[in-house]
Amino acid sequence: MSETAPIRVTVWSEFRHEKKNPKVAAIYPDGIHETIAKCLREQPDFQVRTAWLDQPEHGLGGCVLDETDVLVWWGHMAHGELSDETAAAVQRRVLEGMGFLALHSAHYSKPFKALMGTTCSVKWRESTDKERLWNIAPSHPITRGIGEYFEIPKEEMYGEPFGIPTPDELLFISWFTGGEVFRSGAVWQRGHGRVFYFRPGHETYPTYHHPQVRQVLVNGVRWLRPAVCIQDACPNSPPLEPLPEDTEASDRPVVGFK
């Protein structure tokens, strides 16, 4: 895959809270997905489109997934309304090589749970906690330019235990005013694709306007860019070189127990 080709990004969200809650609409008038997409479009090498839950096939039908290098996912109140077919298609594309950036409550989305294979449950509280995210992997490309830590003045609390498999690498640990801690930034390899979970993003707070959160999104998309795209196959494989004559199984010496 060409290193100079644009990174094709699809930003997906439910786009429900914005239509129901004026507080959310005031922060994200065009939807959370559009705020994130605008941020990503500032990168000249990103080619960004959006999709949301209530579109036909959730906006991910046709060639959309096949033409997506990195899928950004924000879900919260309607995980169960995503079709199993779409969830399976997202999982398949990640196994082929597509990057998947799961944001905030996407920890409970069907595609993320399928990719993790665990409960993905968290402890939570809608509150006025301050969140302090500690950058514990300063040499990782996703934390570039972030510094030792950054703070979000108000956020929903997520606390451990977080029901995920042990990450390949842990990038951020959050501390909340209420005393909890949480693995807020973590990455996994799944098949040929990469997965990045990034915690902040409760809809009633302007988290996706926060400069360091936006920097992590940009860094994350760049790091999630696919290295390959390999479709699943389970082929019967002829030998590359002539094989020695087969010996009848009955002629083989008996080894082990009589």
Closest CA to 220 of 102, 87, 66: 102
| Least distance between Zn ion and beta carbon 238 (Å) | 53
Residue 228 DSSP SS3: coil
Taking alpha carbons only, the member of 61, 37, 63 closest to residue 50 is 37
Among 79, 192, 202, 214, binds Zn ion (CB under 5 A): 202
Report, in Å, the least distance between residue 131 CB and Zn ion: 12
Q: Smallest distance from the beta carbon of 168 to Zn ion, in angstroms?
A: 25
* Complex with Zn ion: residue 69 or 180, whichever CB lies closer: 180
Nearer to Zn ion, 96 or 203 (CB): 203
Q: Which stretch binds Zn ion (CB under 5 A): 20-28, 150-158, 236-244, 245-253?
A: 150-158
CA dist 81 and 216 (Å) reads 28
Rounded to the nearest 10°, the torsion over CA 41, 212, 203, 80 is: 70
Q: Which stretch binds Zn ion (CB under 5 A): 57-65, 81-89, 156-164, 208-216?
A: 156-164
Which phi and psi angles does 137 have, rounded to 5°?
-135, 65
Stretch that binds Zn ion, among 28-36, 39-47, 186-194, 202-210 (CB under 5 A): 202-210
**Count of alpha carbons within 13 Å of 49, Cβ hemisphere only?**
12
The secondary structure of the chain in percent helix, strand, coil, rounded to multiples of 5, reads 30, 30, 45
Q: Are strands 149-159 and 123-135 parallel, antiparallel or unpaired?
A: antiparallel
Q: Which of 68, 156, 157, 197 binds Zn ion (CB under 5 A)?
A: 156
Residue nearest to Zn ion (CB): 202
Please identify, among the stretches 6-14, 24-32, 91-99, 195-203, the one whose residues bind Zn ion according to the rule CB under 5 A.
Answer: 195-203
Write down the least CB distance from residue 77 to Zn ion, Å.
9
Work out the burial of residue 145: count CB atoms within 10 Å of its CB; fewer than 13 is exposed, 13-18 middle, 19 or more buried. Answer: exposed
Residue (7 or 157) nearer to Zn ion, CB? 157
Residue 155 engages Zn ion in binding (rule: CB under 5 A): no
- Quick one: which segment of 67-75, 153-161, 165-173, 215-223 binds Zn ion (CB under 5 A)? 153-161
**Structure-token match 């479709």, residue found:** 231
Compute the distance between CA of residue 215 and CA of residue 212 in angstroms, rounded to an integer: 5
Q: How many positions of this chain bind Zn ion (CB under 5 A)?
A: 2
> What is the closest distance, in whole angstroms, from the C-beta atom of residue 15 to Zn ion in the complex?
15
Where along the sequence are the contacts to Zn ion (CB under 5 A)?
156, 202
